Chains A and B, each alone.
Chain A
Amino acid sequence: GQQLNQSPQSMFIQEGEDVSMNCTSSSIFNTWLWYKQDPGEGPVLLIALYKAGELTSNGRLTAQFGITRKDSFLNISASIPSDVGIYFCAGLSGAGSYQLTFGKGTKLSVIP
């Protein structure tokens, strides 16, 4: 089946630093989604991307839909302690498929 390779698996950063993570695939996707999950909670949708090359922001978060449609990137600027959590990418291939494929997540730790 389709797979998404999400990297890095984990990262430790200082408060105030910028963060970058990405998701790649050998398959083409028509939709890219980014989620954040806090401990004991369900994933929460952060950003949705629908077109190749699209760049979308949500506060300090910015995500991009790669030109090749095989990758996506999420950046967090000026990190704060509440950014701690696991970030997941998810892709939808379209063509009548309604099944999201998820990456395995990036665990973010912020050092105050």
Chain B
Amino acid sequence: DAGITQSPRHKVTETGTPVTLRCHQTENHRYMYWYRQDPGHGLRLIHYSYGVKDTDKGEVSDGYSVSRSKTEDFLLTLESATSSQTSVYFCAISGQGREAFFGQGTRLTVV
């Protein structure tokens, strides 16, 4: 398995609270991604990073921000969680921006 650790694995939070999800890799890969997975929608890209402090928006970036201050860590922040952000979040990494390797996911419930 690719060395990817997501934390926490499960979280329940209240509407309006900030939430930060962490992705940590030990592969020294350049590219890191955050996806969300919802029934009927498959995997949708939220944000991605192509280097330290280099990030860009994906398909569903509204309400999310990211930061990458070190190669190994990519943080996803929900500034003010809403029920529509209840989902399973996956981090992925890629060495050359082609094959992506996924973490085990974080199940987030916003109540």
Binding site for B on A (CB under 8 A): 1, 31, 33, 35, 40-45, 48, 50, 88, 90, 92, 98-100, 102-105
Contacts and interface: CB of A to CB of B under 8 A. Distances in A.
A92 B58 CA distance: 14
Interface residues of B, number: 24
Contact of A99 (B40, B48, B99, B101): B48
Interface of B: 31, 33, 40-45, 48, 50, 58-59, 90, 92, 94, 97-105
B42 A102 contact: yes
A103 B42 contact: yes
A35 B35 CA distance: 15
Given A42-B105, A105-B42, A99 B58 contact: yes
5 contacts: A33-B98, A41-B104, A42-B90, A98-B48, A98-B50
A102 B105 CA distance: 17
Contacts of A48: 98-99
A43 B102 contact: yes
A98 B42 contact: no
Nearest to B31: A98
Given A43-B43, A48-B99, A88-B43, A98 B105 contact: no
